[in-house]
Amino acid sequence: MKGSLNLGRVSGIKIKVHWTFLFIIIWVAFIEINQGGNLQSVLFNIALILVVFLCVVLHELGHALTAQHFGVKTKKITLLPIGGIASLEKIPEEPKQELLVAVAGPFVNVVIALILYFIVPVQQFLADNLTNIIENLNALTLTNFFFYLFVVNVMLVLFNLIPAFPMDGGRVLRAFLAMNMGRVKATQIAAVIGQSIAIVFLLLGMLYNPFLILIALFVFVGAYGENKMVQQIELLKGHTVSEAMLTNITLLKIDDTLASVKDLILSGTEKDFIIEQEGKPLGILMNADIINNSNKPNMFVGDIMKTSFKVLGINDKLKNVLSLGELQKGYFFPVLDANKKLVGAIDLTNINEFILFQSKLEY
Ligand SMILES: [Zn+2]
């Protein structure tokens, strides 16, 4: 996601905050001022928001570090106004591992809530009568700060355990189901349950709170996407890159000009190209770079080609290629045979075509 500020690294995992996060701080300050707050109360609320998001980062780190334990890397954790996202390279397919990775996030909030429960202490706080509690909550005290934080962490646990994708509860449910049936079946059932919950949210949202409509949409799309992804991976299982790669491709030489590439693009259907020398890929020429430099027809392709790129082998597993982040971003990979000789290329369009053919074979 573009426009993120780096906050640092924890155990090699980048922590980023998206610029739209600023809105939530401005919004909180605006609401507080609107309700007759002063500088102190505004700062109190902003501090609360920042600490809440610190809890969200710790939640995501719970997922990421547990995944790391099972050998799955996390590229980054991004903070958005709606919450955090840990970009895991893949979801562990072993149900027990998936279960632990999914539970680790909410577990962090349980621990935080427990600690705060004793610091506040919550039991004493709630022992008072309701009128007093509500009046007490208006004061800008450290006890209130911790009490609010306690409530938020409890809510984070409850919200995340709703058994619907993309919430952690959806993964927990799928992992439990997958222990007794195949992963594809388990995902299908979990997706149906998730989408049913989304419909309930939608109805409740229309009656009571528009915010629930937003969550319903989020859950509905999440369940659909997860189900589709798992089915696609299933269709790719047991197949290798050599079965889906492009072999009918135009190879460029380092001193070909952009004018000749433009002719190639217009006269055919190829968009990205490989620059080859003696059977080896020297670089890749991405469509965006060709377009951006199209006002320089005499430029050599060697001047704008990417020289750092990933190559794949003909025997690499297609299902692993699908989960490559670079593929999802529209990258194009040269494919080499066992002797490191260039034999083809592969991209997302290719793999999608292959999935389409496979799905017609199976159903
Ligand atoms: Zn989570």
Quick one: which H or E segment has residue 347? Answer: strand 342-347
Ligand 1 center to 72 CA (angstroms): 16
Provide the whole-model pTM. 0.71
pLDDT tens by residue, 41-90: 889 989 999 999 899 999 999 999 999 999 888 888 888 777 788 888 77
Which of the pair, 162 or 80, is modelled with greater confidence?
A: 162
pLDDT tens by residue, 180-216: 888 888 888 888 898 898 898 899 888 988 878 887 8
Ligand 1 center to 174 CA (angstroms): 15
pLDDT for 183: 82
- Beta strands 332-336 and 4-10 are unpaired
Ligand 1 center to 127 CA (angstroms): 32
Question: Cβ of 244: how many Cβ atoms within 10 Å?
Answer: 22
Measured CA to CA, the distance from residue 32 to residue 145 in angstroms comes to 15
Ligand 1 center to 278 CA (angstroms): 49
Ligand 1 center to 108 CA (angstroms): 10
Tell me: pLDDT of 147 over 60: yes
**In the CATH scheme, what is the code of domain 241-362?**
3.10.580.10
The least confident of 271-275, 282-286, 318-322 is 318-322
**What's the rounded mean pLDDT across residues 300-309?**
88
Q: Look at residue 300 and give its three-state secondary structure.
A: strand
Query: Angle of helix 210-236 relative to helix 183-207, nearest 10 degrees?
Result: 170
Ligand 1 center to 88 CA (angstroms): 12
Residues 117-127 as b/e (b if ≥16 CB within 10 A, e otherwise) read beebebeebee
pLDDT for 91: 76
Q: How confident is the model at residue 22 (pLDDT cuts 50, 70, 90)?
A: confident
Residues of CATH 3.10.580.10 domain(s) within the chain? 241-362
Active site residue 234: no
Ligand 1 center to 171 CA (angstroms): 10
Ligand 1 center to 63 CA (angstroms): 7
Ligand 1 center to 324 CA (angstroms): 22
Where helices occur in 166-317 by DSSP H, the ranges are 168-178, 183-207, 210-236, 241-244, 258-267, 287-292, 301-304
Give me the catalytic one of 32, 60, 98, 234.
60
Residue 60 tokens, joined? 């995501």
pLDDT tens by residue, 99-126: 999 999 999 999 999 999 998 887 887 8
Do residues 294 and 354 make contact, with C-beta atoms less than 8 angstroms apart?
A: no
- Angle 104-105-108 from CA coordinates, rounded to 5°: 85
Ligand 1 center to 233 CA (angstroms): 23
Measured CA to CA, the distance from residue 8 to residue 215 in angstroms comes to 30
Residue 266 tokens, joined? 């217009």
pLDDT for 220: 81
